[in-house]
Amino acid sequence: MARLGIAGGMIVALAVPYLIRSDFWLGFLITVLLFAAMGMAWNVLGGYAGQFSFGHAAFFGTGAYASAILHIGFGLNPWLGLAAAAVAGGLVGLVIGTLSFRYGLRGSYFALITLAFAEVLRILANTAEFTGGGVGLYVPLKVGVANLQFESKLGYYYVALGFTVLSLGVGWALERSRLGARLMAIRENEDAARALGVDTFMCKLQAIVISGALTGLGGAFYTQYYLYIDPGIAYGPGVSVEILLVPIIGGLGTVFGPLLGSAVLHGAGELARRLVGDAPGLSLIFYGALLVIMVRFLPEGLMGLVWRLSRRRERAANA
């Protein structure tokens, strides 16, 4: 039944661009898919391993700059730039993870060090010449599939869809792997997992590398989609908050939670912009309020709410 549902969802997702002709709604769906994929990347580290990161912009921005610099400065094909961005994001994850987990940082200490890394990288990008400094980098417009640039948003939609399928596939595989079981054991009780023989350092290191690589891939796609990146966008706190909110809203440690969370988050954000306007800082205020509401009233996310309602319905039916 689940496989039929997934197959039906894929058919709908493939057909959506031909049913929706509006560029606005296609752009909205591309954003939902992009942040669903990066939310799943955060979920690998935060949802399954229980290591909450407040600085995923470190991976996003590094992937964005890696692909842009290699394309502009060295002529690297943007499709290969996606792979380079994933490697760059994974390497940053390796550095942060080694420095953090080797010395036993976890909880709020780990969250703060990820935030600090993102801020340090923002400052460095703001002053370095090869990143364009505060001005940022403009990717040359060369429309063509080979250059990962499309005449309409249809092509970007399918690339974003592929990225989302890849990220959700990673989550699905992780749930059914030994690594996933070990990460969940670490999430529940790291000391007990270590006592049972789990190499907690290596498991968490693998999780942050996977998470960083997928988020770096998202940064590269963002750069090719908007053809521009600067330090404020790449390493700003808004990106980190948006990425972590998606799985928290949808459901931590679930495969489809990030997809549901991204749709709800960006749908509510778009509604708020239409009602209140796009004032500076409004999005961060909205995200902060939403985070407080979810943590207070729906700690298991929307997927947890769906499961509770379904179990209640089953009990009522049995009664």
pLDDT for the residue 269:
82
- Over residues 258-297, the pLDDT tens digits come to 999 999 998 888 877 777 766 666 777 777 788 788 878 8
Residues 178-196: what's their mean pLDDT? 95
Q: Can you name the residues that pair with 228 across neighbouring β-strands? A: 138
Residues 3-17: what's their mean pLDDT? 81
Q: What percent of the chain has pLDDT over 70?
A: 96
Residue 23 has pLDDT above 80, yes or no: yes
In this structure, which amino acid lies at residue 219? G
The number of helix segments (H) and strand segments (E) in the chain equals: 14, 2
Residues 91-113: what's their mean pLDDT? 94
Q: What percent of the chain has pLDDT over 90?
A: 71
Across all residues in the chain, what is the average pLDDT? Answer: 91
Domain boundaries, the chain: 24-237
Position with higher pLDDT, 199 vs 9: 199
Residue 182 has pLDDT above 90, yes or no: yes
pLDDT for the residue 50:
94
C-alpha distance from residue 81 to each of 30, 114, 115, 185, 224 (Å) = 20, 24, 26, 35, 10
Position with higher pLDDT, 263 vs 21: 263
Give residue 147's pLDDT band: very low, low, confident or very high (50, 70, 90).
Answer: very high
Residues 34-57: what's their mean pLDDT? 96
Q: What per-residue string of b and e applies to 202-217 under the rule 16 or more CB within 10 Å gives b?
A: ebbbbbbbbbbbbbbb
- The pTM of this model reads 0.93
Q: Can you name the residues that pair with 29 across neighbouring β-strands? A: none
- Over residues 188-214, the pLDDT tens digits come to 999 999 999 999 999 999 999 999 999
pLDDT for the residue 279:
65
